[in-house]
Chain A
Amino acid sequence: MYINPVLYIFLVASVIVLSVILVSLVISYLFSVKRLTNLEKEQDKLYQETKQKQQEAIFAAQNTANQIIDEATDIGHYTKTTLDDAIASIKHHEEEILAQESEKFIKEYDSQARELKDEGIKRLQSVSDDISKYIDSYFKLLTDTLTAQTSKSHEEVENKIKGEYENLEKELADYKKRQIEKIDNNISKMLLNISKLAFGSSLPIEKHENIVIEALEEAKKKGELE
């Protein structure tokens, strides 16, 4: 097997170079690991330190806060007292103003009320007069109307009674006439029946025959039988 010496050299060179690179990489890795471990240690240390400082700061802050609160309480008492005084003062002032205003208002109110009262009384008096006049005129009208109505009703009733009386008189007269006519008719019928009975039973046959013959001859003369 024939290998080109150039190529052979090149290959050997390459292997060497690659080995050097690999070694350098391993070394570099080891250094890195070591640094990382150191860094972790430092980090833990820093954490512990930071935690300790934090606790210290918290304590300090608590102390400061307590101190501030205590101071603030004191300030609150002072402020409250001052405010109460101020409020009392304002209140007193306002009461004075209110009293003054109230007095003014009451006076104004009294004045207005008096005026209204006077005006009301005047108006009431006026209304009273008007009502009185109205009632008087109304009563007068009512009295007149009632008088007229009464008079008219009286006349109407009189006329109606008169009319009814006349109707009744007429009806009575008619009734009387009818009854009299009825009685007359009955009397006539009665007399007629009595006459019939009397004639019928009393006439002899000869008389009957004569009456018939006379009646026939008279009718014949008058031409009734033709």
Chain B
Amino acid sequence: MTELRVGIDTRPGWTVLVVRGKILFDTHEPLSRALKEAMAGHQPKIVVDLHEVTVCDSSGLQLLVDAYRQVTAAGGAFRLARARSLVRRVLDITNLTTILVVHDSVDAAVSASPGSGSEREPGDRRPGGPSI
């Protein structure tokens, strides 16, 4: 599958993943890999730029939630930027915007204060799950 490409950009202290294409259950591997690499460091700070993403299915959402939880648990920061209407809509309908805050620009994502919603812990801790 070549429907998804991920470019890597940086801001001081931050990794910016610039995603292009469709994030679907059978295409999301490049994003999964890029997230894994970006999360490898100490207290990772990651922005996922969704401007060129046309569709994100539930597998894609799961991938973003997973990354958010792992990064948050490691004391880092995980933010989204520039989601377009369809992607924005699935984030809204699923209520995931309550944890995955979407910023208007990469710069806004990087400079947002930690309290602006995106570094909260999802409610229940997972017994036996990954270290969160």
The judgment on whether A and B are partners is no
Please report A residues at the B interface, Cβ cutoff 8 Å: none
Please report B residues at the A interface, Cβ cutoff 8 Å: none
